[in-house]
Amino acid sequence: NAGVTQTPKFQVLKTGQSMTLQCAQDMNHEYMSWYRQDPGMGLRLIHYSVGAGITDQGEVPNGYNVSRSTTEDFPLRLLSAAPSQTSVYFCASSDLQGGGYGYTFGSGTRLTVV
Amino acid sequence: GEDVEQSLFLSVREGDSSVINCTYTDSSSTYLYWYKQEPGAGLQLLTYIFSNMDMKQDQRLTVLLNKKDKHLSLRIADTQTGDSAIYFCAEYRFYNQGGKLIFGQGTELSVKP
């Protein structure tokens, strides 16, 4: 089915470890973004991209890196995991930068840092 | 989420109407959205409304927008147990090179049989 695919679905990391959360979409969307969801706080934007080779920071970018080498993929890297990064991470994509069409969300990656 | 507020919980009986409320602060928002999140799943777009509209109806869903008060509501008619989920309102804002959705905290709707 067309949509946004995130892997892995669950991950446990030790403090200080690094890892990459994968996100891929097959809808030829130009716009992709990463959000984190924490209880009682809704979703907060980490990084986003308006096309291949173009990325920018969102509200909470510290501790995360992104790159966009293709239209389809937008991986999120945790450089040195901290317990504060325990969260559910959602990747989302859209055409027309989301206006009027909303975003298509992946099913999420639940990350626990111990 | 910053500046978008929702109540956290709502409980209704099956067959009743549910009304979920949301307030936002950015008067320049062009689109406002309602998303539904079921347990363990991502967010599903339910409906959206453009800022020059007052109301939008889509089957059992009615969205009301009061721009003067910056108030958005989602009414679900004939609420069913399958409607139990977390509902997020979100406003679209232009941001740096692109745009972003600003989400409320989410309202957990519980539908009792």
- Cα A29 to chain center, whole Å? 15
Residue of B nearest to A108 (CA): B42
Q: How confident is the model over B8-29, as a mean pLDDT?
A: 91
Q: How many CB atoms lie within 10 A of CB A40?
A: 7
Q: What are phi and psi of A85, to 5 degrees?
A: -90, 5
Which of the pair, A32 or B1, is modelled with greater confidence? A32
Q: Which of A42, A50, A107 sits opposite B98 (nearest CB)?
A: A50
Q: How many CB atoms lie within 10 A of CB B15?
A: 11
Say whether pLDDT at B62 is over 80.
yes
Burial of A111 (C-beta count, 10 Å sphere; 0-12/13-18/19+): buried
Q: How many CB atoms lie within 10 A of CB B37?
A: 20
Q: Look at residue A34 in the predicted model and tell me its pLDDT.
A: 96
- Cα A37 to chain center, whole Å? 11
Residue A74: pLDDT band by 50, 70, 90 thresholds? very high
- State the Cα–Cα distance between residues A22 and B53, nearest whole angstrom: 38
Say whether pLDDT at B1 is over 50.
no
Say whether pLDDT at A99 is over 70.
no
Q: Which of A42, A48, A104 sits opposite B100 (nearest CB)?
A: A48
SS3 A74: coil
Q: Check CB contact under 8 Å for B101 and A103.
A: yes
> What mean pLDDT, rounded, does chain B reach?
90
* Sign (positive or negative) of CA dihedral A49, B22, A84, A11: negative
Q: Look at residue A100 in the predicted model and tell me its pLDDT.
A: 60
- State the Cα–Cα distance between residues B65 and A73, nearest whole angstrom: 36
Contacts of B49 (CB under 8 A, 6+ apart): B31, B32, B55, B56, B63, B65, B72
Q: What is the pLDDT of residues A21-73, one digit of tens each?
A: 999 999 999 889 999 999 877 899 999 998 899 999 988 999 999 999 999 99
Encoded amino acid at A53, one letter: G
Structure tokens at B51: 């800022």
Q: Check CB contact under 8 Å for A33 and B92.
A: no
Encoded amino acid at B22, one letter: C
B38 touches chain A (CB under 8 A): no
Cβ atoms of residues A76 and A89 within 8 Å: yes
Q: Look at residue A98 in the predicted model and tell me its pLDDT.
A: 53
Size of interface A-B (CB pairs under 8 A): 77
Q: Look at residue B99 in the predicted model and tell me its pLDDT.
A: 73
* Sign (positive or negative) of CA dihedral B79, B85, B86, B88: negative
